Amino acid sequence: VFLPVSLPAQEDERAVRAAYLFTLTKYVSWPAGQGELKICSKVDASVGMDLKQILDGKVSEGRTVHVVLNPTGMEQRQCAILYLGSVSPAKIVIALQELGSAPVLTVGDGAGFARRGGMVGLVRTEDQIQLHVNLSALRAAGIQMSSRLLNIAIIDQAERQSR
């Protein structure tokens, strides 16, 4: 994994985020953690393409990564990670509702993502990307996250919302 010391450009930041997604898989364990590791994304096509380019075919903990762009409603429930990118809070709610209680790690950009019911938010602070984690959301989806990751993450208390 190539981890640049700084993030000079937007393309580079995309790569960093992709690397973060991949690294996340190493700290997270799913209820049915076998077979193909599907990383789905509902982002811009260019971002999606970059993601697919970087991550597709990688192996994490014995599982091959398969990037699925813009999955269907049924498809997205089969994903291990659903990367939503920088989406509006409304879209977040819709996406989360579509997933229901499926064990899919939801990842988004921005500080509000985790607070709004997302599981992991990748928040850019200064020259670093900070992880924000919503523990109740993780727990609700039956996904476990390594405490080592939690040690470096900021735990966000989710805003009360109905599921």
Contact positions vs other proteins (CB under 8 A): 1, 3, 5, 20, 23, 26-27, 61, 128-131, 146, 148-149, 151-152
Shortest distance (Å) from residue 148 CB to other proteins: 4
* E strand intervals along the chain: 28-29, 37-41, 59-60, 63-69, 81-85, 105-109, 120-125, 128-133, 144-145, 154-155
Q: How far is the CB of 36 from other proteins (least distance, A)?
A: 20
Q: Which is nearer to other proteins, 95 or 143 (CB)?
A: 143
Shortest spacing between CB 124 and other proteins, in angstroms? 13
**Residue 19: how many CB atoms within 10 A of its CB?**
18
Nearer to other proteins, 20 or 102 (CB): 20
10-25 and 45-55 are packed helices; what angle lies between their axes, rounded to 10 degrees? 50
Residue 83: strand, helix, or coil: strand
Q: What share of the chain is helix, strand, coil (3-state, %, to 5)?
A: 35, 25, 40
CB of 128 to other proteins, least distance (A): 7
Q: Which is nearer to other proteins, 46 or 128 (CB)?
A: 128
Give whichever of 146 and 161 is closer to other proteins, judged by the CB atom.
Answer: 146
